[in-house]
Structure 1
């Protein structure tokens, strides 16, 4: 997925300023897509230059929300209906687990406890977001699907971390006993 499609998706749901979009990336979209403000603002300008979004009049606190154009909506629909989802992903947590054999079991367990708490905290946050949805709004009905995907992934990740903690508890120490040379 490209940042372009992520931005069009957000703006199609309702007009949003760059600030609003960055808050979305730090909140509900954190488990799906990460983007920094230094990426968002230039891409918004490109989308506007390409005629896919347009700036509305200045709103509260000097924000200038963007709204999607008909061409932007057509582009978004085309992306949804003519391209396959990219299922490639990078997951640093999983990569790190392949290296846990290099540390003491207590250190591995500390890493896994941190992961477990992270997933539990994100779960709590997504559940709050789900409760705040207005299912009379089409964009919120679709958001429910995405949020539920996140909830289920986080539940699975938390369950995995609990399991992994039990497995690592059975590992022997990686440090060889010191030899008495005296």
Structure 2
């Protein structure tokens, strides 16, 4: 998925949105789906406007400039939805780190896993609150429910995994020895 499609989706479903609003969405409802920094969002908004996919409205409160999607932007978004396959590649640093936990003492591994569990629990609370705030009477919110529910289920799975991993690491031998000897490193 491209940042372009993420922005078009947010603008089409949430009404006119400023860069500030969109950055909040990336830190909130879309955090488990797509990561974007403000330094990426603002230049992409300018590109989308130059391509005629969105248009800037008059300056609003606090100097914010909301954008709305154009008919061409809706066409591009619909085309993306109906003619391309989803990109299933993903990165998950938490899981990547779990492959390397043999390099630290079990207590350190458990501390990392506890921190991850609490992070995912906090995000889960936030996603559940987001779900409660959706209005099933709004078509965009009905569709957002699909994504929010996917996020809830993914977070529940990560919490369950972290709980299991903490218990599993508790059974590891306390002495890791020279973790790098025998690993082929050196």
TM-score above 0.5? yes
Alignment of 1:119-134 (within 5 A): 119-134=120-135
Query: 1:11 corresponds to which residue?
Result: 11
Query: 1:21 corresponds to which residue?
Result: 22
Kept in 1, the 8 Å contact 2:103–2:176? The answer is no
TM-score under structure 2 length normalisation: 0.93
Cα distance in structure 2, aligned partners of 1:175 and 1:165: 16
Structure 2, unpaired ranges of 5+: 178-186
Cα distance in structure 2, aligned partners of 1:121 and 1:128: 11
Kept in 1, the 8 Å contact 2:106–2:173? The answer is yes
Cα distance in structure 1, aligned partners of 2:22 and 2:175: 46
Cα distance in structure 1, aligned partners of 2:128 and 2:3: 25
Structure 1 position 135, deviation (Å): 1.3
Query: 1:172 corresponds to which residue?
Result: 173
Query: 1:74 corresponds to which residue?
Result: 75
Alignment of 1:16-55 (within 5 A): 16-55=17-56
Kept in 2, the 8 Å contact 1:102–1:174? The answer is no
Find the residue that maps to 1:126 and give its secondary structure: helix
TM-score under structure 1 length normalisation: 0.95
Structure 1 position 162, deviation (Å): 0.5
CA RMSD of aligned residues (A): 1.1
Find the residue that maps to 1:67 and give its secondary structure: strand
Structure 1 position 175, deviation (Å): 4.1
Q: Deviations over 1:85-126 (max 9, x none)?
A: 000011111110011011100000001100110110000000
Alignment of 1:75-90 (within 5 A): 75-90=76-91
Q: Deviations over 1:29-86 (max 9, x none)?
A: 1111010011000000000000000011122222111000000000000000000000
Tell me the number of residue pairs that the alignment of Structure 1 and Structure 2 aligns. 177
Q: Deviations over 1:126-164 (max 9, x none)?
A: 011111111111111111110000000000010000011
